[in-house]
Structure 1
Amino acid sequence: MKLLILDRDGVINEDRPDFIKSPEEWLPIAGSLNAIGELTRAGWTLVVATNQSCIGRGIIDVAMLNRIHAKMHKAIHHVGGHIDAVFFCPHAPDMGCACRKPAPGLVLDIAKRFRVEPKDCYMVGDSLRDLAAVNSAGGRALLVRTGNGAKAELSADLPAGTPVFDDLAAVADYLLYGIREE
């Protein structure tokens, strides 16, 4: 199985400093939906792993998160793509849970659910916490410059050897065709 884990905000859709609070605020990043469609057609299993502290902070509830994800699923389906599952951490940052990235809990749960070794998982993220989550689980991190990725790329804490791509479309080109823009 070819398993690719995607962070949501900043990778698939535009990020907002005040959280995505409604389906209307969920806006895809140019090219991300088509990239998901291409990966789906090529046989990749795609799973979203996202921190959603807006739930733990009382900003939205799970029902609203489900409505936001329904919009995402519909938009992805429209271009022939498919997300096999969405795993999310609902906890606020101060809760000390094992599922909030940079902890590896979501990655390990995904690997267990899909019966793959964590070392065989790729994860696309736009932040150091995404990279840390998959690295600490033993998987392979891919950074995109969208969202917070351009800032993360400049960080002294960027793990050595982390491949960096302009966006999810560039990641898809790399995984499907070996094309790597420098």
Structure 2
Amino acid sequence: MAIIVLDRDGVINQHSDDHIRSADEWVPIAGSIEAMAQLSQAGHQLVIATNQSGLALGHFDLDDLEAMHAKMRALVEDAGGEIAAIFYCPHSDDDHCRCRKPNTGLLDAIEAEFDTSLHDCYMVGDRLKDLQCAVAKGCKSVLVKTGCGERTLRSLIENPDPALIETSVFESLAQFSEFVLR
């Protein structure tokens, strides 16, 4: 089964510049849950890789994060799919850790957990650091225009990055899913 790595905020659920702080604030983007269920049903293993600096900054605690993830898992399961795993970086930029995207520590952990290589797997995100992480690990980088995606796309048009030239762009996770399932 092929692994598809998904960022969380702005890809699966609505983005907030002030952090998603609770399960109540965690609201899926229209079509994202169904898209995940369809990908899962088609045999893809969905793995979430998300920076969650709100933990380090004290905006929410581990119980809050686990409640958000339980809600996400339940919605995907209710739609007939499954999330294989969720990996998150609890650090802030100031911590200079190896797991905070664009560093590849989260992807390294996924490879170790699943005893596989993510080379040529899809990695879907809405921010430049998601795309940079994907390319650094040899994944196929995918930008969705939801969340910060429109802003990221404008930035890439204004300041092209040769390393990201092969990034695919989709309106949403739902459109990406349709592409993969064709």
- Please tell me the TM-score bracket, short chain as reference: over 0.9
Q: Percent identity?
A: 44
Aligned-CA RMSD value: 1.0
Counterparts of 1:165 and 1:138 in 2: how far apart (Å)?
20
1:172 aligns with 2:177: yes
Counterparts of 1:142 and 1:121 in 2: how far apart (Å)?
10
CA apart distance, 1:71? 0.8
Q: Runs of 4+ in structure 1 displaced over 4 angstroms? A: none
CA apart distance, 1:107? 1.2
Flag the 1:78–1:149 CA change in 2: closer, same or farther, 3 A: same
CA apart distance, 1:14? 0.2
1:1-182 correspondence runs (5 A): 1-155=1-155, 156-158=159-161, 159-177=164-182
CA deviation digits over 1:12-40, x for unaligned, max 9?
00011111111100000000000001001
Counterparts of 1:118 and 1:108 in 2: how far apart (Å)?
9
Counterparts of 1:5 and 1:94 in 2: how far apart (Å)?
25
CA contact (8 A) 1:89 1:100 kept: yes
Residue segments in structure 2 that go unaligned for 5+ positions in a row:
none
Structure 1 length-normalised TM = 0.94
CA contact (8 A) 2:101 2:133 kept: yes
SS at match of 1:24: coil
Counterparts of 1:157 and 1:113 in 2: how far apart (Å)?
34
Kindly tell me the number of residue pairs found equivalent between the two proteins. 177
CA contact (8 A) 1:3 1:120 kept: no
Counterparts of 1:97 and 1:124 in 2: how far apart (Å)?
22
CA apart distance, 1:118? 2.5
CA apart distance, 1:157? 4.4
